[in-house]
A = this chain, B = another copy of it.
């Protein structure tokens, strides 16, 4: 199946903006930098920004074991993961039709603590490489103490939907007679020149992971 099943959790009211296509969902997940992870803690909703990595139909999250989110996700609770890319501000002739161009994904699933050592390593590598492809192999590997203090969580992409708005403003017919500017302002994540920390050993150059990161977001 190339699409996610429509369920109570991922069904979108305005279906012209929704897609259940797996490739569409994956592409947004792979391009974005941050996930906004929602869960319930003592009857209060919590939303935390987290980095993540995707392997197939599983999203991986990580956090210090001492952190609230790690303690909660470790219990196997339902979570919601939202990821959004802002593409443009859309200024219509009316305030009402003004909008934003974006691509977003909302996923629901049950979190699972990763305990298998191999899966944990693969997940941490993917989370690292998600932001800077190839970085895991360049950096000093994680040692036992670091692994022991880190909680890794898997969220199967059980219920998922992508939403997107594209294109210019769409005004009411009669509003095109108004002397009001209308159009879009494009927005994107711009990556600047890498700045080393001033403590590099002689001969160490900008690595492939940084070059690849800049190329991806050029």
**A residues engaging B (CB < 8 A)?**
8-9, 13, 33-34, 36-40, 42-49, 51, 64, 66-68, 78-82, 84, 86, 89, 91-96, 98, 100, 102, 104, 106, 108, 124-125, 128, 131-132, 135-136, 138-143, 146, 150, 168-169, 175-201, 203-207, 209-210, 213-214
Question: Are B191 and A169 in contact (CB-based, < 8 A)?
Answer: no
Residues of B with C-beta under 8 A to A175:
140
Cα of A19 to Cα of B187 in the assembled complex, Å: 29
Cα of A184 to Cα of B104 in the assembled complex, Å: 27
Residues of B with C-beta under 8 A to A68:
13
Return the chain B residue nearest A175 by Cβ: B140
Known: A36-B36, A38-B47, A82-B49. A192 touches B188 (CB 8 A): yes
Question: Are B146 and A96 in contact (CB-based, < 8 A)?
Answer: yes
Question: Are A187 and B80 in contact (CB-based, < 8 A)?
Answer: no
Question: Are A45 and B49 in contact (CB-based, < 8 A)?
Answer: no
| Cβ distance A13 to chain B, nearest Cβ, rounded Å | 6
Question: Are B80 and A44 in contact (CB-based, < 8 A)?
Answer: yes
Question: Are B195 and A79 in contact (CB-based, < 8 A)?
Answer: no
| Cβ distance A73 to chain B, nearest Cβ, rounded Å | 11
* A204: contacting residue among B168, B179, B196, B203, CB under 8 A: B179
